[in-house]
Chain A
Amino acid sequence: MVTLGPFLKRELRLLARQKADWLNPVLFFLIVLSLFPLGVGPEPNLLRIIAPGVIWIAALLSVLLAAERLFKDDYRNGVVEQLVASRQPLLAFVLAKLLANWLSTGLPLVLLSPLVALLLNVDMASFIAMVLTLLLGTPLLSLLSVLGAALTVSADKGGILLALLILPLYIPLLIFASAAMEAASMALPYHGQLAVMLAMLLFALALVPVAVTSALKINVS
């Protein structure tokens, strides 16, 4: 874990220099959200009903948008190859990627959630549920998208393939997250859904980094 620091510093510096990489998905998230009132009509009650699903689908799509470029540059300029060849543990690089990915795509969504709540006319109880589900769910989204990006890094048609691979894996998360928000809007307890999301997150946190390192090794060899 000694090596995590420099890797993380490098990732954050790269993000600070290439602002489009993380700003565009966030803007995309807001634009998709603002399309829904235009598409289905600005009826406040209707918006409140569809809000859980809409917020989560927009979050999935914006994370997916950022995922494609995760390993592309590092693969093209040989960083991944050097890391696989070197004695540095690849796991530290993967964890730094994960953390940087969540900080740049997951965290902005959590920070933007008050604005989203205003836009879609979400009440207070659902808003708290939305923040909690986003806090638990976005790290899981980052884990899955890092996995997808690592699998397809050297593929010829990476972009669309990544969406096909990762979106089905997002489905369980989508089901529980919107179920929690739905329950909250009806003033029902939603601890169960949150517990399942936490369990999925911990399970993925234990196994996904290992799968990502072996996927990177396969792609380099």
Chain B
Amino acid sequence: MFKWLHPYAKPETVYHLCGRLMPWLMGAALLLLLLGNIWGLAFTPPDYQQGDSYRIIHLHVPAAIMSMGTYSAMAIAAFIALVWQVKVAQWSVLAIAPIGAVYTAIALITGMAWGKPMWGTWWVWDARLTSELILLFLYLGVIALSGAFSDRQTGAKVASLLAVVGVINLPIIHFSVEWWNTLHQGASITKFAKPSIDPSMLWPLLISILAFKILMLALLCVRLRTAILVNEQHRPWVKAMAGD
């Protein structure tokens, strides 16, 4: 398997692979985003208790799920970067971090907008909300740490280490609604047995989650390509491409 994977550690291969995948991913993400959101916002029945204001779920839940999914992707890349010293993995950590930070911010802001009509308050110091806020701080810490060193490579390595350390927060976020009985409701779609959400609302939600996931990959392709070009600017293949 490693023999098969090995060519993908080469920046040039990854650059071209990302270039090929990017249009497809971006197109699929936009299509699914439109489909999921229009279906969810306009054509699903209103909730019997929350009325129409539950519809923000189609932004809130995908952003929240992907804020954690993006973090795990970043942490895996960071682990690979630290253990096997793969340069591309190192750059992807820094490429993923801002995407994850924006997803986390979206999850927090839409959560606040949903909390106001439902709970009567913008913010409570509930376990789920607090741990999600810590996640945002961790993303910002990774970004800030990577920029704090005069040597770019040291910054990337140290930021990777912080990303790995911060993984401890993911189980805390996931189980916070079970460990502490607080205001944020428990999971309604990640239960394996039977989702406690009606299928007519579930399908557009699943499409939105998929859309956010593919959008993350598409944005990662764009950012990783830029990072590869910046870091490899003195290599022959970049110069040949630029026509020097």
Contacts and interface: CB of A to CB of B under 8 A. Distances in A.
Interface of A: 147, 151-152, 154-158, 161, 164-165, 167-169, 171-172, 175, 211, 214-215, 218-219, 221
A157 B134 CA distance: 22
Which residue, A147, A156, A164, A165, has most C-beta atoms of chain B within 10 A? A165
Interface in B54-86: 82
Given A154-B154, A175-B130, A168 B141 contact: yes
Interface of B: 82, 130, 134, 137-138, 140-141, 144-145, 148-150, 154, 157-158, 161-162, 164-165, 172
A221 B148 CA distance: 16
A219 B151 CA distance: 10
Contact of A151 (B82, B150, B161, B172): B161
Closest 6 CB pairs of A and B: A168-B137, A155-B148, A218-B157, A165-B141, A168-B134, A161-B148
Contacts of B141: 164-165, 168
Contacts of B137: 164, 167-168
B157 A151 contact: no
A147 B165 contact: yes
A154 B130 contact: no
Given A152-B148, A165-B162, 18 more contacts: A151-B145, A151-B162, A152-B145, A154-B154, A155-B148, A161-B144, A161-B145, A164-B141, A168-B141, A171-B130, A171-B134, A175-B130, A215-B161, A218-B154, A218-B161, A219-B154, A219-B158, A221-B154
Contacts of A175: 130
B161 A214 contact: yes
A21 to B, nearest CB: 23
Dominant SS among interface residues on chain B: helix
Contact of A218 (B130, B134, B150, B158): B158
B149 A156 contact: yes
10 contacts: A151-B158, A158-B148, A161-B145, A165-B144, A168-B138, A171-B130, A211-B164, A214-B161, A218-B154, A219-B154
B144 A215 contact: no
A173 to B, nearest CB: 12
A156 B134 contact: no
Nearest to B141: A165
Q: Main SS of the interface on chain A?
A: helix
A143 to B, nearest CB: 11
B149 A155 contact: yes
B130 A164 contact: no
A196 B138 CA distance: 22
Contacts of A154: 149, 154
A211 B165 contact: yes
A152 B147 CA distance: 11
B134 to A, nearest CB: 5
Nearest to B130: A171
Contacts of A214: 82, 161
B140 A164 contact: yes
Nearest to B155: A155
A61 B158 CA distance: 23
Most buried by B among A147, A155, A161, A171: A155
A152 B149 CA distance: 9
Contacts of B154: 154, 218-219, 221
A165 B134 CA distance: 10
B136 to A, nearest CB: 9
A165 B144 CA distance: 9
A168 B145 CA distance: 14
B51 to A, nearest CB: 34
Contacts of B140: 164
Nearest to B134: A168
Nearest to A161: B148
A218 B160 CA distance: 11
A152 B146 CA distance: 10
